[in-house]
């Protein structure tokens, strides 16, 4: 009886330790509400980038700054696949196309027809300079690539590209010869085993919270959360780590931000005070319509507390009535700018922005602009 009592006491202590550790990793409801109040953008300014015609679609804005000029890398899909483009602005509202950064090729490579790029090592300080960092004398970009023509045709894998010149210059980036993550890797997990790895976001872990210098958040398609069999669509966000930007390994066996249905994807991380905030989008959830933008928060880059309140961005206008998703959020001179992919009922896709202060309304609609 004494031994059983000791065992019971030990079991209770272990259970308490697990619970305490779990509570320790959570971001408090008070802090989550504070973050929401800081980042919310109730005023939709409107479209700031539109494609040249209905066949071309713009997607996935990534913003950085050099001097007094803002730059946006973004994707254009025109039927063959994704290419990565660059634009610039002096005020975050009026943008000018500059040219391609990663173009189609016909060299028989694994990424000939899909090159969807996202700048790496953007400053994560909320309200900071949003400058791009360098590693080993180079600027870096992660991207998902594929060899097949069409809209996100599998297999899609994650690659890395780099340049010695500043990313504000229109140039073709140099790409590593092989993917750094794919669904055929030996360590691929159940949540990412369906031949489609999508958007990735790379930051520097200066505090080495993960034990590594660089952290990549990426979303992928995988099996059901409960029975690991093929289902309609499950997309979740997981982690990989690296110390040299070329060799990446998965961190943990499961996703770090996910939901039981639909898509959880395109995580982009910034640090607000002492809390890490991941802006991401959801789609096809049972309790919410369309595509929408939300956030999660973390103390350690690994354990994430999901916001359970209102969406940050959701469909509410003719230009985003189908989807309002895929965010890049920043703060500049006291104003929060929430860039996102806006999709109307015709499946026309452009880049829109919402703000924390009323800046008036954009007169831009889905009308042709110049894309050469």
- The domains of the chain are located at 29-355
Rounded to 5°, the CA angle 174-244-135 comes to 65
pLDDT-based confidence at 289, cuts 50/70/90? confident
Dist. CA 202–CA 239, nearest whole Å:
10
**Rounded-to-integer distance, Cα 92 and Cα 179, Å:** 33
Q: What is the pLDDT of residues 161-220, one digit of tens each?
A: 999 999 999 999 999 999 999 999 999 999 999 999 999 999 999 999 999 999 999 999
* For residue 369, cis peptide bond before it (omega within 30 degrees of 0): no
Residue 188: closest CA among 110, 252, 144: 252
Whether the per-residue pLDDT at 228 is higher than 90: the answer is no
CA 13 from chain centre, in angstroms, equals 39
> Tell me, what's the pLDDT at 24?
82
b/e map 308-342, b = 16+ CB within 10 Å: eeebbbbbeeebbebbbbbbbbbbbeeebbbbbbb
Domain 29-355: top CATH class: mainly beta
Cβ pair 304, 296 in contact under 8 A:
yes
Over the chain, what is the mean pLDDT?
91
Between 101 and 190, residue with greater pLDDT: 101
Report how far Cα 198 is from the mean position of its chain's Cα atoms.
9
**What's the whole-model pTM score?**
0.91
């Amino acid at each position: 009886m004494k031994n059983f009592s000791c065992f019971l006491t030990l079991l209770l202590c272990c259970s308490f330790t697990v619970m305490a550790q779990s509570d320790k990793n959570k971001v408090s409801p008070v802090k989550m509400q504070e973050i929401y109040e800081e980042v919310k953008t109730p005023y939709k300014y409107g479209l700031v980038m539109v494609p040249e015609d209905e066949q071309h679609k713009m997607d996935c804005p990534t913003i950085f700054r050099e001097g007094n000029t803002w730059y946006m890398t973004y994707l254009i899909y025109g039927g063959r696949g994704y290419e990565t483009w660059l634009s610039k602005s002096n005020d975050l509202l009026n943008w000018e196309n500059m040219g391609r950064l990663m173009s189609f090729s016909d060299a028989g490579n694994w990424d000939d027809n899909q090159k969807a790029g996202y700048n790496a090592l953007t400053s994560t300080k909320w309200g900071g300079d949003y400058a791009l960092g360098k590693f080993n004398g180079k600027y870096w970009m992660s991207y998902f690539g594929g060899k097949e023509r069409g809209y996100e045709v599998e297999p899609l894998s994650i690659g890395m590209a780099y340049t010695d010149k500043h990313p504000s210059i229109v140039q073709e980036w140099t790409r590593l010869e092989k993917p750094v993550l794919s669904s055929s890797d030996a360590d691929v997990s159940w949540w990412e085993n369906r031949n489609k790895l999508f958007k990735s976001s790379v930051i520097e872990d200066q505090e080495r919270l993960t034990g590594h210098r660089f952290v990549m958040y990426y979303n992928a398609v995988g099996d059901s959360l409960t029975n690991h069999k093929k289902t309609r669509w499950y997309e979740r966000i997981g982690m990989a780590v690296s110390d040299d930007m070329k060799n990446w390994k998965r961190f943990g066996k499961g996703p770090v931000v996910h939901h039981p249905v639909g898509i959880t994807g395109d995580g982009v991380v910034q640090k607000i005070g002492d809390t890490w905030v991941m802006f991401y989008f959801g789609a096809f959830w049972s309790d919410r319509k369309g595509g929408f933008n939300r956030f999660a928060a973390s103390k350690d880059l690994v354990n994430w507390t999901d916001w359970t309140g209102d969406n940050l961005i959701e469909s509410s206008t003719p230009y985003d009535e189908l989807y309002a998703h895929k965010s890049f959020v920043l703060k500049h001179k006291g104003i929060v700018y929430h860039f996102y992919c806006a999709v109307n009922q015709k499946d026309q896709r452009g880049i829109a922005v919402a703000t924390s202060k009323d800046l008036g309304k954009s007169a831009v609609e889905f009308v042709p602009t110049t894309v050469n």
